[in-house]
């Protein structure tokens, strides 16, 4: 199986996976929903444990966005089961989302999640997939740095906002330093529109216009 990082916009590859919730087929099991698939290097490791707790504490936020979570590492399903039990027993957090046991490495290879210089463990990858099974965002972190889950929630919100309103979201949206929670409208595509926008309200120039949702 080819091992490479997919391109944005490509379809999430079809696969049947073993998880802590049983065997599921992706992306079919998420039909009509957004989902975030995230990999971690290994079970029973400190940074990964903090990440799982952080994802679970935001699971309601993801579900409110019609978005599911799916974890993954190359550990066997028995290890996943014992680890999520440990998290519940020791930390008081129940992991409600499925965790893929990719012990053969097939999913990791299909999504380019194994760094040649880091052994066989998966990197901290994040794939945000839309209801049409298209990969919309990919994030890759090194093993030594934990992810910011609030940013991943923001990414899902921003993608949905952009899709629904045919707009772009500025840096740190909805808390941008220049335009706050406003969004950026598509740029002018002809001279007439550019002239109409010059000096218009809610614009810095004809190519940088924004609006309130």
Annotated catalytic residue within 48, 167, 169, 209: 48
Residues 206 and 197 sit within 8 Å (Cβ to Cβ): yes
Query: What gap in Å lies between CA 103 and CA 76, rounded to an integer?
Result: 5
Nearest to 30 by CA among 129, 100, 96, 118: 129
Nearest to 37 by CA among 24, 167, 50, 45: 24
Residues contacting residue 177 through CB under 8 Å, at least 6 positions apart: 171
Which stretches does DSSP call E strand in the chain? 15-19, 22-26, 34-39, 67-73, 99-101, 124-129, 135-141, 183-184, 203-205, 208-211
Q: Does the annotation mark 67 as catalytic?
A: no
Reported as half-sphere exposure (CB side, CA atoms, 13 A), residue 127 has a value of 29
Sign of CA dihedral 34, 40, 44, 49: negative
First-to-last alpha carbon distance for the chain, in angstroms, is 44
Give me the active site residues, please: 48
């Amino acid at each position: 199986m080819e091992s490479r990082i997919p391109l944005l916009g490509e379809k999430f590859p079809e696969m049947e996976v073993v998880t802590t919730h049983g065997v599921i087929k992706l992306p079919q099991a998420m039909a009509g929903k957004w989902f975030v698939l995230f990999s971690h290097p290994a079970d029973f490791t400190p940074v990964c444990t903090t990440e799982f707790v952080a994802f679970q504490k935001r699971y309601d936020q993801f579900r409110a966005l019609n978005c599911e979570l799916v974890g993954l590492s190359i550990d066997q399903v028995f290890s996943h089961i014992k680890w999520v039990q440990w998290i519940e027993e020791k930390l008081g957090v129940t992991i409600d989302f499925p965790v893929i046991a990719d012990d053969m490495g097939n999913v990791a290879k299909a999504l380019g999640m194994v760094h040649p210089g880091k052994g066989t463990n998966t990197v901290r990858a994040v794939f945000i997939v839309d209801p049409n099974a298209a990969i919309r965002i990919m994030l890759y972190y090194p093993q030594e740095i934990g992810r910011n889950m609030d940013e991943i929630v923001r990414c899902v919100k921003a993608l949905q906002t952009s899709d629904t309103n045919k707009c772009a979201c500025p840096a740190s949206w909805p808390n941008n330093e220049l335009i706050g929670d406003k969004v950026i409208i598509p740029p002018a595509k002809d001279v007439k529109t550019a002239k109409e926008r010059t000096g218009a309200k809610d614009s810095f120039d004809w190519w940088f216009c924004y609006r309130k949702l």
